[in-house]
Structure 1
Amino acid sequence: MKVYTLHHPHEMKQEDFPPISIALGFFDGVHLGHRKVIQKAIDYAKENGIKSAVMTFDPHPSVVLSAKKSSVQYLSSLDQKIKKIEALGVDYLLVVRFTSAFASLEPQEFVDQYLIGLNAVHVTAGFDYSYGKFGRGKMETLPFHARGKFTSTTVEKQTDENEKISSTRIRELLSQGQPGKAARLLGMPHETEGLVVHGEKRGRKIGFPTANIDIENGLLIPSPGVYAVKMNVNHTWYDGVCNVGYKPTFNDPDQAQLSVEVHLFEFNDSIYGENVRVQWIERIRSEKKFNGIDELIAQIEKDKDSAIEILKR
Protein backbone atom coordinates (compact mmCIF):
# COMPACT_ATOMS: atom_id res chain seq x y z
CA MET A 1 0.00 0.00 0.00
CA LYS A 2 1.32 3.42 -0.97
CA VAL A 3 0.68 6.15 1.59
CA TYR A 4 0.51 9.83 0.65
CA THR A 5 0.16 12.74 3.07
CA LEU A 6 -1.61 15.70 1.46
CA HIS A 7 -1.27 19.26 2.77
CA HIS A 8 -3.77 21.81 1.46
CA PRO A 9 -3.34 23.05 -1.16
CA HIS A 10 -1.88 19.78 -2.39
CA GLU A 11 0.31 19.53 -5.48
CA MET A 12 -0.77 16.11 -6.74
CA LYS A 13 -2.09 15.89 -10.30
CA GLN A 14 -4.74 13.63 -11.78
CA GLU A 15 -2.11 11.80 -13.83
CA ASP A 16 -0.19 10.94 -10.64
CA PHE A 17 -2.81 8.25 -9.95
CA PRO A 18 -4.37 5.47 -11.99
CA PRO A 19 -8.17 5.43 -11.96
CA ILE A 20 -9.15 4.74 -8.35
CA SER A 21 -12.17 3.56 -6.38
CA ILE A 22 -11.91 5.56 -3.16
CA ALA A 23 -13.51 5.21 0.28
CA LEU A 24 -13.96 8.40 2.33
CA GLY A 25 -14.08 8.71 6.12
CA PHE A 26 -12.15 9.45 9.29
CA PHE A 27 -12.17 5.71 10.12
CA ASP A 28 -11.09 5.94 13.79
CA GLY A 29 -10.65 2.36 14.99
CA VAL A 30 -11.42 0.92 11.54
CA HIS A 31 -14.46 -0.80 13.07
CA LEU A 32 -16.92 -3.13 11.32
CA GLY A 33 -18.92 -0.22 9.88
CA HIS A 34 -15.76 1.32 8.44
CA ARG A 35 -14.66 -2.00 7.01
CA LYS A 36 -17.96 -2.32 5.16
CA VAL A 37 -17.32 1.04 3.45
CA ILE A 38 -13.71 0.22 2.61
CA GLN A 39 -14.60 -3.27 1.36
CA LYS A 40 -17.22 -1.82 -1.01
CA ALA A 41 -14.51 0.41 -2.53
CA ILE A 42 -12.14 -2.57 -2.85
CA ASP A 43 -14.85 -4.74 -4.42
CA TYR A 44 -15.69 -2.06 -7.00
CA ALA A 45 -11.99 -1.73 -7.85
CA LYS A 46 -11.60 -5.48 -8.36
CA GLU A 47 -14.77 -5.78 -10.42
CA ASN A 48 -13.67 -2.95 -12.72
CA GLY A 49 -9.94 -3.66 -12.97
CA ILE A 50 -8.83 -0.47 -11.22
CA LYS A 51 -7.00 0.40 -7.98
CA SER A 52 -8.56 0.86 -4.53
CA ALA A 53 -7.91 3.80 -2.24
CA VAL A 54 -8.92 5.23 1.12
CA MET A 55 -8.92 8.90 2.06
CA THR A 56 -8.73 9.74 5.75
CA PHE A 57 -7.94 12.87 7.72
CA ASP A 58 -5.57 13.91 10.50
CA PRO A 59 -6.20 15.26 13.09
CA HIS A 60 -9.87 14.70 13.91
CA PRO A 61 -11.98 17.51 12.39
CA SER A 62 -13.36 18.47 15.81
CA VAL A 63 -9.86 19.49 16.93
CA VAL A 64 -9.84 22.17 14.23
CA LEU A 65 -13.54 23.09 14.06
CA SER A 66 -14.45 23.23 17.75
CA ALA A 67 -14.40 26.68 19.37
CA LYS A 68 -13.44 25.05 22.66
CA LYS A 69 -10.09 23.35 23.17
CA SER A 70 -10.91 19.84 21.97
CA SER A 71 -9.04 16.73 23.00
CA VAL A 72 -10.27 13.70 21.09
CA GLN A 73 -9.71 10.30 22.63
CA TYR A 74 -8.74 8.22 19.62
CA LEU A 75 -9.48 4.52 19.18
CA SER A 76 -6.38 4.22 17.00
CA SER A 77 -3.24 6.21 16.36
CA LEU A 78 -2.56 7.21 12.77
CA ASP A 79 0.06 4.45 12.58
CA GLN A 80 -2.44 1.85 13.85
CA LYS A 81 -5.03 3.09 11.38
CA ILE A 82 -2.56 2.77 8.50
CA LYS A 83 -1.72 -0.82 9.49
CA LYS A 84 -5.39 -1.81 9.79
CA ILE A 85 -6.28 -0.32 6.42
CA GLU A 86 -3.28 -1.93 4.76
CA ALA A 87 -4.35 -5.31 6.17
CA LEU A 88 -7.64 -4.98 4.26
CA GLY A 89 -5.75 -4.97 0.94
CA VAL A 90 -6.06 -1.31 -0.08
CA ASP A 91 -3.69 -0.03 -2.81
CA TYR A 92 -3.45 3.66 -1.85
CA LEU A 93 -4.00 5.57 1.39
CA LEU A 94 -4.35 9.35 1.23
CA VAL A 95 -3.96 11.09 4.60
CA VAL A 96 -5.24 14.65 4.31
CA ARG A 97 -4.01 17.09 6.96
CA PHE A 98 -7.21 18.63 8.32
CA THR A 99 -6.57 22.36 8.68
CA SER A 100 -8.73 25.49 8.80
CA ALA A 101 -7.87 26.19 5.16
CA PHE A 102 -8.91 22.68 4.10
CA ALA A 103 -12.11 22.92 6.17
CA SER A 104 -13.00 26.16 4.35
CA LEU A 105 -13.26 24.47 0.95
CA GLU A 106 -16.71 24.65 -0.60
CA PRO A 107 -18.19 21.20 -1.35
CA GLN A 108 -17.56 21.62 -5.08
CA GLU A 109 -13.96 22.68 -4.45
CA PHE A 110 -13.34 19.61 -2.29
CA VAL A 111 -14.76 17.33 -4.98
CA ASP A 112 -12.82 19.05 -7.78
CA GLN A 113 -9.48 19.09 -5.95
CA TYR A 114 -9.56 15.91 -3.83
CA LEU A 115 -11.71 13.49 -5.85
CA ILE A 116 -11.81 14.44 -9.54
CA GLY A 117 -8.34 15.97 -9.19
CA LEU A 118 -6.92 12.69 -7.83
CA ASN A 119 -8.50 10.54 -10.56
CA ALA A 120 -11.35 9.03 -8.54
CA VAL A 121 -13.78 7.22 -10.84
CA HIS A 122 -15.88 5.78 -8.01
CA VAL A 123 -16.46 7.11 -4.49
CA THR A 124 -17.83 5.16 -1.51
CA ALA A 125 -18.83 6.57 1.88
CA GLY A 126 -21.27 6.00 4.71
CA PHE A 127 -24.81 7.37 4.59
CA ASP A 128 -23.94 10.18 7.03
CA TYR A 129 -20.68 11.32 5.42
CA SER A 130 -20.43 15.06 4.80
CA TYR A 131 -17.82 17.17 3.02
CA GLY A 132 -16.92 20.77 2.35
CA LYS A 133 -17.43 23.93 4.41
CA PHE A 134 -19.86 23.44 7.31
CA GLY A 135 -20.41 19.88 6.06
CA ARG A 136 -22.82 21.19 3.46
CA GLY A 137 -21.92 18.44 1.01
CA LYS A 138 -23.87 15.21 1.65
CA MET A 139 -24.04 11.86 -0.07
CA GLU A 140 -27.26 13.08 -1.70
CA THR A 141 -25.41 16.01 -3.30
CA LEU A 142 -22.32 14.03 -4.35
CA PRO A 143 -23.69 12.97 -7.78
CA PHE A 144 -24.31 16.66 -8.61
CA HIS A 145 -20.81 17.73 -7.51
CA ALA A 146 -19.28 14.78 -9.40
CA ARG A 147 -19.90 16.63 -12.71
CA GLY A 148 -20.30 13.23 -14.39
CA LYS A 149 -16.65 12.36 -13.66
CA PHE A 150 -17.30 9.53 -11.16
CA THR A 151 -20.04 7.32 -9.80
CA SER A 152 -20.71 6.73 -6.09
CA THR A 153 -22.01 4.21 -3.58
CA THR A 154 -23.66 5.10 -0.27
CA VAL A 155 -23.29 2.46 2.45
CA GLU A 156 -26.35 2.19 4.67
CA LYS A 157 -26.21 2.35 8.47
CA GLN A 158 -24.51 -0.71 10.02
CA THR A 159 -26.05 -1.80 13.32
CA ASP A 160 -25.45 -4.12 16.26
CA GLU A 161 -28.36 -4.86 18.60
CA ASN A 162 -30.32 -2.12 16.77
CA GLU A 163 -27.67 0.51 17.56
CA LYS A 164 -25.45 2.15 14.96
CA ILE A 165 -21.90 0.82 14.90
CA SER A 166 -19.90 3.99 15.43
CA SER A 167 -16.64 5.20 16.93
CA THR A 168 -18.70 7.25 19.40
CA ARG A 169 -20.54 4.14 20.60
CA ILE A 170 -17.27 2.22 20.97
CA ARG A 171 -15.74 5.06 23.00
CA GLU A 172 -18.79 5.00 25.27
CA LEU A 173 -18.46 1.26 25.83
CA LEU A 174 -14.76 1.53 26.70
CA SER A 175 -15.47 4.45 29.03
CA GLN A 176 -18.05 2.23 30.74
CA GLY A 177 -15.51 -0.58 31.18
CA GLN A 178 -17.01 -2.86 28.51
CA PRO A 179 -14.08 -3.80 26.24
CA GLY A 180 -15.74 -7.09 25.27
CA LYS A 181 -18.72 -5.31 23.68
CA ALA A 182 -16.38 -2.74 22.12
CA ALA A 183 -14.34 -5.58 20.57
CA ARG A 184 -17.46 -6.98 18.93
CA LEU A 185 -18.01 -3.66 17.12
CA LEU A 186 -14.33 -3.18 16.33
CA GLY A 187 -13.94 -6.71 15.02
CA MET A 188 -10.97 -7.16 17.36
CA PRO A 189 -10.00 -6.09 20.91
CA HIS A 190 -9.33 -2.40 21.52
CA GLU A 191 -5.58 -1.86 21.43
CA THR A 192 -3.38 0.88 22.84
CA GLU A 193 0.32 1.49 22.36
CA GLY A 194 2.80 2.92 24.81
CA LEU A 195 6.26 3.03 26.29
CA VAL A 196 7.35 1.02 29.35
CA VAL A 197 8.62 3.56 31.90
CA HIS A 198 9.88 3.40 35.48
CA GLY A 199 7.16 3.44 38.10
CA GLU A 200 7.16 3.23 41.89
CA LYS A 201 8.17 -0.48 41.81
CA ARG A 202 5.68 -1.38 44.56
CA GLY A 203 4.42 -4.37 42.57
CA ARG A 204 7.88 -5.93 42.49
CA LYS A 205 8.18 -5.61 46.28
CA ILE A 206 4.94 -7.54 46.87
CA GLY A 207 5.67 -10.28 44.32
CA PHE A 208 3.75 -8.88 41.33
CA PRO A 209 6.17 -6.94 39.12
CA THR A 210 4.34 -4.66 36.70
CA ALA A 211 5.19 -2.82 33.51
CA ASN A 212 4.20 0.83 33.89
CA ILE A 213 2.88 1.91 30.47
CA ASP A 214 2.97 5.50 29.29
CA ILE A 215 0.12 5.23 26.78
CA GLU A 216 0.60 7.14 23.52
CA ASN A 217 -0.92 10.60 23.87
CA GLY A 218 -4.52 10.84 22.69
CA LEU A 219 -5.36 7.12 22.71
CA LEU A 220 -8.43 6.15 24.70
CA ILE A 221 -7.74 4.24 27.91
CA PRO A 222 -10.70 2.25 29.29
CA SER A 223 -12.27 3.41 32.57
CA PRO A 224 -10.37 2.76 35.84
CA GLY A 225 -10.47 -0.84 37.03
CA VAL A 226 -8.75 -4.20 36.69
CA TYR A 227 -8.70 -5.91 33.30
CA ALA A 228 -7.65 -9.17 31.68
CA VAL A 229 -5.27 -8.09 28.91
CA LYS A 230 -2.81 -9.32 26.33
CA MET A 231 0.43 -7.41 25.79
CA ASN A 232 2.76 -7.54 22.81
CA VAL A 233 6.45 -7.26 23.69
CA ASN A 234 9.01 -7.59 20.90
CA HIS A 235 6.46 -9.20 18.53
CA THR A 236 5.28 -11.81 21.09
CA TRP A 237 1.90 -11.78 22.87
CA TYR A 238 1.72 -12.50 26.61
CA ASP A 239 -1.30 -12.86 28.92
CA GLY A 240 -1.63 -10.53 31.86
CA VAL A 241 -3.73 -8.51 34.26
CA CYS A 242 -3.81 -4.71 34.17
CA ASN A 243 -4.74 -2.07 36.72
CA VAL A 244 -5.93 1.26 35.37
CA GLY A 245 -6.34 3.83 38.07
CA TYR A 246 -5.00 6.02 40.82
CA LYS A 247 -3.80 3.37 43.33
CA PRO A 248 -5.98 4.61 46.22
CA THR A 249 -4.35 2.20 48.69
CA PHE A 250 -1.12 4.20 48.39
CA ASN A 251 -2.01 7.64 47.01
CA ASP A 252 -3.93 10.73 48.04
CA PRO A 253 -6.79 10.72 45.47
CA ASP A 254 -6.54 14.48 45.07
CA GLN A 255 -2.91 14.29 43.94
CA ALA A 256 -2.76 10.89 42.21
CA GLN A 257 -2.17 10.52 38.48
CA LEU A 258 -3.78 7.88 36.29
CA SER A 259 -1.49 4.91 35.77
CA VAL A 260 -1.64 1.82 33.54
CA GLU A 261 0.26 -1.11 35.05
CA VAL A 262 0.40 -4.58 33.53
CA HIS A 263 1.50 -7.74 35.35
CA LEU A 264 2.40 -10.42 32.80
CA PHE A 265 2.16 -14.09 33.71
CA GLU A 266 5.35 -16.16 33.39
CA PHE A 267 7.44 -13.18 32.28
CA ASN A 268 10.57 -11.88 34.00
CA ASP A 269 12.45 -9.81 31.39
CA SER A 270 13.39 -6.17 31.92
CA ILE A 271 11.54 -4.18 29.26
CA TYR A 272 12.06 -0.54 30.25
CA GLY A 273 12.09 1.65 27.16
CA GLU A 274 10.24 -0.89 24.99
CA ASN A 275 7.23 0.11 22.93
CA VAL A 276 4.40 -2.31 23.70
CA ARG A 277 0.81 -2.91 22.62
CA VAL A 278 -1.96 -3.69 25.10
CA GLN A 279 -5.19 -5.44 24.05
CA TRP A 280 -8.10 -4.94 26.45
CA ILE A 281 -10.09 -8.18 26.77
CA GLU A 282 -12.46 -7.97 29.75
CA ARG A 283 -12.97 -5.91 32.90
CA ILE A 284 -12.66 -7.91 36.12
CA ARG A 285 -13.62 -5.33 38.74
CA SER A 286 -13.56 -1.65 39.64
CA GLU A 287 -10.63 -0.08 41.46
CA LYS A 288 -10.89 -0.01 45.26
CA LYS A 289 -8.92 0.99 48.32
CA PHE A 290 -7.61 -1.82 50.54
CA ASN A 291 -6.95 -1.77 54.28
CA GLY A 292 -3.40 -3.03 53.93
CA ILE A 293 -0.80 -4.84 51.82
CA ASP A 294 -2.00 -8.34 52.78
CA GLU A 295 -5.55 -7.58 51.65
CA LEU A 296 -4.19 -6.11 48.40
CA ILE A 297 -2.00 -9.17 47.72
CA ALA A 298 -4.94 -11.54 48.30
CA GLN A 299 -7.08 -9.55 45.85
CA ILE A 300 -4.33 -9.47 43.20
CA GLU A 301 -4.12 -13.29 43.43
CA LYS A 302 -7.87 -13.47 42.79
CA ASP A 303 -7.59 -10.99 39.91
CA LYS A 304 -4.81 -13.05 38.36
CA ASP A 305 -6.89 -16.24 38.59
CA SER A 306 -9.86 -14.43 37.05
CA ALA A 307 -7.73 -13.11 34.20
CA ILE A 308 -6.30 -16.56 33.48
CA GLU A 309 -9.85 -17.99 33.24
CA ILE A 310 -11.04 -15.15 30.99
CA LEU A 311 -8.05 -15.45 28.65
CA LYS A 312 -8.50 -19.22 28.42
CA ARG A 313 -11.96 -18.55 26.97
Structure 2
Amino acid sequence: MTRRLALLLIGAAGPAFAQDHSHHQMPAADPHAGHVMPPPAADPHAGHVMPSADPYAGHGAAPSGPAIPKGPPPAAATSGAVHAADAVFGAETMAAARAALYKETGGMTVNKTIIDRLETGLGQGHETYLWDVQGWIGRDIDKFWWKTEGEGAFGGALESAEVQALWSRAIGPFFDLQAGVRYDIRPEPDRAHAVIGIQGLSPYKFEVDAAAFISTKGDVTARIEAEYDQRLTQRLILQPRLEVEFSAQDIPEYGIGAGLSAIEAGARLGYEITPRMRPYIGVEWHGKIGDTADYARIAGEDTDTLRWLVGVRAWF
Protein backbone atom coordinates (compact mmCIF):
# COMPACT_ATOMS: atom_id res chain seq x y z
CA MET A 1 0.00 0.00 0.00
CA THR A 2 2.75 2.33 0.95
CA ARG A 3 4.61 1.50 -2.32
CA ARG A 4 1.64 2.35 -4.49
CA LEU A 5 1.21 5.70 -2.72
CA ALA A 6 4.83 6.61 -3.44
CA LEU A 7 4.49 5.82 -7.14
CA LEU A 8 1.37 7.96 -7.45
CA LEU A 9 3.13 10.94 -5.85
CA ILE A 10 6.11 10.61 -8.23
CA GLY A 11 3.84 10.42 -11.26
CA ALA A 12 1.97 13.57 -10.24
CA ALA A 13 5.15 15.57 -9.64
CA GLY A 14 6.86 14.56 -12.95
CA PRO A 15 4.81 16.77 -15.36
CA ALA A 16 5.19 19.78 -13.09
CA PHE A 17 8.99 19.37 -12.81
CA ALA A 18 9.29 18.83 -16.53
CA GLN A 19 7.26 21.96 -17.26
CA ASP A 20 9.41 24.09 -14.91
CA HIS A 21 12.69 22.82 -16.44
CA SER A 22 11.51 23.51 -19.96
CA HIS A 23 10.83 27.13 -18.94
CA HIS A 24 14.48 27.79 -18.13
CA GLN A 25 15.79 26.31 -21.45
CA MET A 26 13.99 28.68 -23.83
CA PRO A 27 16.38 30.26 -26.47
CA ALA A 28 17.20 34.02 -26.30
CA ALA A 29 15.12 36.36 -28.38
CA ASP A 30 16.50 37.37 -31.87
CA PRO A 31 17.92 40.95 -31.50
CA HIS A 32 17.09 41.69 -35.13
CA ALA A 33 13.49 40.56 -34.77
CA GLY A 34 11.24 43.17 -36.36
CA HIS A 35 14.03 44.86 -38.34
CA VAL A 36 13.99 44.95 -42.16
CA MET A 37 17.37 44.02 -43.61
CA PRO A 38 18.60 46.17 -46.56
CA PRO A 39 19.00 44.50 -49.90
CA PRO A 40 22.59 43.52 -50.89
CA ALA A 41 24.67 46.30 -52.60
CA ALA A 42 24.76 46.26 -56.35
CA ASP A 43 27.99 44.96 -57.99
CA PRO A 44 29.92 48.06 -59.27
CA HIS A 45 31.33 46.07 -62.16
CA ALA A 46 27.93 44.71 -63.18
CA GLY A 47 27.46 45.22 -66.92
CA HIS A 48 31.14 46.00 -67.56
CA VAL A 49 33.19 43.93 -69.94
CA MET A 50 36.61 43.13 -68.44
CA PRO A 51 39.55 43.53 -70.86
CA SER A 52 41.30 40.49 -72.10
CA ALA A 53 44.84 39.74 -70.94
CA ASP A 54 47.68 41.93 -72.41
CA PRO A 55 49.07 39.93 -75.34
CA TYR A 56 52.47 41.65 -74.86
CA ALA A 57 52.73 40.98 -71.11
CA GLY A 58 56.20 39.66 -70.36
CA HIS A 59 57.64 40.80 -73.70
CA GLY A 60 60.68 43.14 -73.77
CA ALA A 61 59.35 45.79 -76.15
CA ALA A 62 56.03 47.27 -77.07
CA PRO A 63 54.73 46.85 -80.61
CA SER A 64 55.94 49.43 -83.13
CA GLY A 65 53.52 52.09 -84.31
CA PRO A 66 52.54 52.83 -87.85
CA ALA A 67 55.39 53.30 -90.31
CA ILE A 68 56.74 56.86 -90.68
CA PRO A 69 55.91 58.16 -94.14
CA LYS A 70 58.86 58.91 -96.41
CA GLY A 71 59.14 61.61 -99.02
CA PRO A 72 59.18 65.40 -99.31
CA PRO A 73 56.94 67.52 -97.05
CA PRO A 74 53.51 68.38 -98.36
CA ALA A 75 53.19 71.49 -100.49
CA ALA A 76 51.16 73.23 -97.79
CA ALA A 77 54.18 73.18 -95.45
CA THR A 78 56.00 75.75 -97.61
CA SER A 79 53.07 77.69 -98.92
CA GLY A 80 53.10 80.40 -96.23
CA ALA A 81 55.39 83.36 -95.65
CA VAL A 82 59.15 82.72 -95.29
CA HIS A 83 59.09 84.52 -91.93
CA ALA A 84 55.84 83.84 -90.08
CA ALA A 85 56.38 86.83 -87.76
CA ASP A 86 55.98 89.14 -90.77
CA ALA A 87 52.26 88.39 -90.76
CA VAL A 88 52.00 89.65 -87.14
CA PHE A 89 54.45 92.55 -86.87
CA GLY A 90 54.91 93.53 -90.49
CA ALA A 91 57.68 92.67 -92.97
CA GLU A 92 59.50 96.01 -92.62
CA THR A 93 59.64 95.87 -88.81
CA MET A 94 60.88 92.27 -88.77
CA ALA A 95 63.49 92.93 -91.48
CA ALA A 96 65.03 95.62 -89.27
CA ALA A 97 64.92 93.30 -86.24
CA ARG A 98 66.66 90.48 -88.14
CA ALA A 99 69.38 92.86 -89.34
CA ALA A 100 70.01 94.03 -85.77
CA LEU A 101 70.15 90.43 -84.52
CA TYR A 102 72.69 89.46 -87.20
CA LYS A 103 74.88 92.43 -86.30
CA GLU A 104 74.78 91.74 -82.56
CA THR A 105 75.54 88.00 -82.85
CA GLY A 106 78.49 88.03 -85.26
CA GLY A 107 78.05 90.65 -87.92
CA MET A 108 79.35 93.59 -85.92
CA THR A 109 82.78 95.14 -86.41
CA VAL A 110 84.97 94.75 -83.32
CA ASN A 111 88.62 95.36 -82.49
CA LYS A 112 91.29 94.34 -80.02
CA THR A 113 94.86 95.41 -79.19
CA ILE A 114 97.21 92.95 -77.49
CA ILE A 115 100.45 94.01 -75.80
CA ASP A 116 101.96 90.54 -75.80
CA ARG A 117 105.38 91.61 -74.48
CA LEU A 118 106.52 94.97 -73.18
CA GLU A 119 109.64 94.27 -71.18
CA THR A 120 113.11 95.18 -69.97
CA GLY A 121 115.95 92.67 -70.12
CA LEU A 122 118.90 92.56 -67.72
CA GLY A 123 122.04 90.57 -68.48
CA GLN A 124 125.70 90.57 -69.53
CA GLY A 125 126.36 94.14 -68.47
CA HIS A 126 123.65 95.94 -70.43
CA GLU A 127 119.93 96.63 -70.27
CA THR A 128 117.61 96.05 -73.21
CA TYR A 129 114.02 96.86 -74.09
CA LEU A 130 111.55 94.98 -76.28
CA TRP A 131 108.00 95.41 -77.53
CA ASP A 132 105.71 92.93 -79.26
CA VAL A 133 102.26 94.39 -79.95
CA GLN A 134 99.51 93.31 -82.33
CA GLY A 135 95.84 93.94 -82.91
CA TRP A 136 92.93 93.50 -85.26
CA ILE A 137 89.68 95.03 -86.43
CA GLY A 138 86.93 93.23 -88.32
CA ARG A 139 84.28 90.56 -88.02
CA ASP A 140 84.24 86.84 -87.25
CA ILE A 141 85.54 85.69 -90.64
CA ASP A 142 87.58 88.53 -92.11
CA LYS A 143 89.83 90.91 -90.18
CA PHE A 144 92.62 93.39 -90.67
CA TRP A 145 95.63 92.51 -88.48
CA TRP A 146 98.58 94.73 -87.65
CA LYS A 147 101.74 93.69 -85.84
CA THR A 148 104.86 95.44 -84.68
CA GLU A 149 107.89 94.33 -82.71
CA GLY A 150 111.40 95.54 -82.05
CA GLU A 151 114.23 95.66 -79.54
CA GLY A 152 117.33 97.59 -78.64
CA ALA A 153 119.65 98.58 -75.80
CA PHE A 154 119.10 101.50 -73.46
CA GLY A 155 121.55 104.20 -74.41
CA GLY A 156 122.26 102.55 -77.76
CA ALA A 157 120.84 102.25 -81.24
CA LEU A 158 117.59 100.49 -82.13
CA GLU A 159 118.66 96.96 -83.07
CA SER A 160 115.58 95.78 -84.97
CA ALA A 161 112.03 96.92 -85.68
CA GLU A 162 109.30 95.85 -88.05
CA VAL A 163 105.66 96.53 -88.90
CA GLN A 164 103.17 94.16 -90.58
CA ALA A 165 99.79 94.84 -92.20
CA LEU A 166 97.79 91.67 -92.89
CA TRP A 167 94.44 90.50 -94.19
CA SER A 168 93.21 87.59 -92.05
CA ARG A 169 90.51 85.04 -92.87
CA ALA A 170 89.23 82.28 -90.61
CA ILE A 171 89.96 78.83 -92.08
CA GLY A 172 88.56 76.92 -89.12
CA PRO A 173 87.30 77.39 -85.58
CA PHE A 174 90.81 78.01 -84.22
CA PHE A 175 93.07 79.21 -87.07
CA ASP A 176 93.30 82.18 -89.41
CA LEU A 177 95.13 82.39 -92.72
CA GLN A 178 97.03 85.67 -93.01
CA ALA A 179 98.62 87.46 -95.94
CA GLY A 180 100.04 90.94 -96.39
CA VAL A 181 103.24 92.95 -96.17
CA ARG A 182 106.04 93.48 -93.67
CA TYR A 183 108.40 96.43 -93.55
CA ASP A 184 111.72 96.33 -91.66
CA ILE A 185 112.81 99.68 -90.22
CA ARG A 186 115.94 98.16 -88.67
CA PRO A 187 118.46 96.76 -89.32
CA GLU A 188 119.44 98.82 -92.29
CA PRO A 189 119.03 98.70 -95.19
CA ASP A 190 115.24 99.01 -94.91
CA ARG A 191 113.46 96.21 -96.71
CA ALA A 192 109.90 95.15 -97.51
CA HIS A 193 108.54 91.59 -97.54
CA ALA A 194 105.45 89.76 -98.72
CA VAL A 195 103.92 87.69 -95.89
CA ILE A 196 101.83 84.53 -95.76
CA GLY A 197 101.16 82.56 -92.60
CA ILE A 198 98.72 81.09 -90.11
CA GLN A 199 97.88 82.12 -86.56
CA GLY A 200 95.68 80.51 -83.97
CA LEU A 201 95.26 78.02 -81.17
CA SER A 202 96.65 74.52 -81.74
CA PRO A 203 95.60 71.36 -79.85
CA TYR A 204 96.56 71.49 -76.15
CA LYS A 205 96.05 75.30 -76.31
CA PHE A 206 99.40 76.36 -77.72
CA GLU A 207 99.18 79.82 -79.31
CA VAL A 208 100.98 79.56 -82.65
CA ASP A 209 102.08 82.23 -85.12
CA ALA A 210 103.95 80.90 -88.16
CA ALA A 211 104.82 82.94 -91.25
CA ALA A 212 107.02 82.90 -94.35
CA PHE A 213 108.50 86.10 -95.81
CA ILE A 214 109.76 86.95 -99.30
CA SER A 215 111.71 90.22 -99.49
CA THR A 216 111.90 92.60 -102.42
CA LYS A 217 115.41 91.17 -103.00
CA GLY A 218 114.05 87.64 -103.28
CA ASP A 219 115.24 86.49 -99.84
CA VAL A 220 113.03 83.82 -98.28
CA THR A 221 112.84 83.56 -94.48
CA ALA A 222 110.43 82.07 -91.97
CA ARG A 223 109.57 82.42 -88.32
CA ILE A 224 107.58 80.25 -85.92
CA GLU A 225 106.44 81.41 -82.48
CA ALA A 226 104.64 79.28 -79.88
CA GLU A 227 103.59 79.99 -76.31
CA TYR A 228 101.41 78.37 -73.70
CA ASP A 229 99.63 79.74 -70.62
CA GLN A 230 99.83 77.29 -67.72
CA ARG A 231 97.70 78.38 -64.77
CA LEU A 232 99.38 77.51 -61.49
CA THR A 233 96.61 79.20 -59.50
CA GLN A 234 93.62 81.33 -60.48
CA ARG A 235 95.96 84.33 -60.92
CA LEU A 236 99.51 82.97 -61.17
CA ILE A 237 100.36 81.98 -64.75
CA LEU A 238 103.54 80.43 -66.17
CA GLN A 239 104.09 81.06 -69.88
CA PRO A 240 106.80 79.07 -71.69
CA ARG A 241 107.68 80.59 -75.06
CA LEU A 242 109.73 79.46 -78.07
CA GLU A 243 110.67 81.33 -81.25
CA VAL A 244 112.63 79.81 -84.15
CA GLU A 245 113.89 81.56 -87.30
CA PHE A 246 114.95 80.08 -90.64
CA SER A 247 116.48 81.37 -93.87
CA ALA A 248 116.56 79.78 -97.30
CA GLN A 249 119.88 81.46 -98.18
CA ASP A 250 122.67 83.60 -96.73
CA ILE A 251 121.82 87.28 -96.24
CA PRO A 252 125.20 88.86 -95.40
CA GLU A 253 123.90 92.43 -95.05
CA TYR A 254 121.63 91.25 -92.22
CA GLY A 255 124.17 88.82 -90.77
CA ILE A 256 121.87 85.86 -91.41
CA GLY A 257 123.06 82.45 -92.58
CA ALA A 258 121.15 79.76 -94.46
CA GLY A 259 119.21 77.16 -92.51
CA LEU A 260 118.22 77.42 -88.86
CA SER A 261 119.46 80.88 -87.90
CA ALA A 262 118.24 81.77 -84.38
CA ILE A 263 116.36 80.40 -81.37
CA GLU A 264 114.73 82.18 -78.46
CA ALA A 265 113.50 80.10 -75.52
CA GLY A 266 112.23 81.35 -72.20
CA ALA A 267 109.53 81.41 -69.56
CA ARG A 268 107.56 84.21 -67.92
CA LEU A 269 105.79 84.00 -64.57
CA GLY A 270 102.94 86.47 -64.40
CA TYR A 271 100.35 87.56 -61.88
CA GLU A 272 96.96 88.37 -63.39
CA ILE A 273 95.76 91.49 -61.61
CA THR A 274 92.75 91.56 -63.93
CA PRO A 275 92.06 89.48 -67.04
CA ARG A 276 93.43 92.43 -69.04
CA MET A 277 96.61 93.10 -67.08
CA ARG A 278 99.43 90.70 -66.19
CA PRO A 279 102.84 91.93 -64.97
CA TYR A 280 105.54 89.26 -65.10
CA ILE A 281 109.13 88.31 -64.45
CA GLY A 282 111.07 85.77 -66.47
CA VAL A 283 114.22 84.51 -68.09
CA GLU A 284 115.09 84.03 -71.76
CA TRP A 285 117.97 82.59 -73.75
CA HIS A 286 118.74 83.87 -77.24
CA GLY A 287 121.15 81.97 -79.46
CA LYS A 288 122.43 82.37 -83.01
CA ILE A 289 122.90 79.11 -84.86
CA GLY A 290 125.09 77.84 -87.72
CA ASP A 291 126.28 80.37 -90.27
CA THR A 292 124.43 83.13 -88.44
CA ALA A 293 126.65 82.48 -85.41
CA ASP A 294 129.70 82.73 -87.68
CA TYR A 295 128.56 86.14 -88.93
CA ALA A 296 128.15 87.26 -85.30
CA ARG A 297 131.64 86.14 -84.33
CA ILE A 298 133.16 87.97 -87.28
CA ALA A 299 131.29 91.15 -86.20
CA GLY A 300 132.48 90.72 -82.61
CA GLU A 301 128.99 90.01 -81.28
CA ASP A 302 127.84 87.42 -78.76
CA THR A 303 126.37 84.25 -80.23
CA ASP A 304 124.15 83.61 -77.22
CA THR A 305 122.78 85.72 -74.38
CA LEU A 306 120.79 85.08 -71.22
CA ARG A 307 118.50 87.81 -69.97
CA TRP A 308 116.35 88.27 -66.88
CA LEU A 309 113.04 89.91 -67.76
CA VAL A 310 110.58 92.28 -66.13
CA GLY A 311 107.52 93.25 -68.14
CA VAL A 312 103.79 93.40 -68.56
CA ARG A 313 101.19 91.76 -70.80
CA ALA A 314 97.88 93.55 -71.42
CA TRP A 315 95.03 93.86 -73.87
CA PHE A 316 92.17 96.22 -74.53
Q: What TM-score, normalized by structure 2, do the two folds share?
A: 0.23
Larger CA Rg, structure 1 vs 2: 2
Which structure is higher in helix share? 1
Higher relative CO (Cα under 8 Å, sequence separation at least 6) belongs to: 1
Q: What TM-score, normalized by structure 1, do the two folds share?
A: 0.23
Which structure is higher in strand share? 2
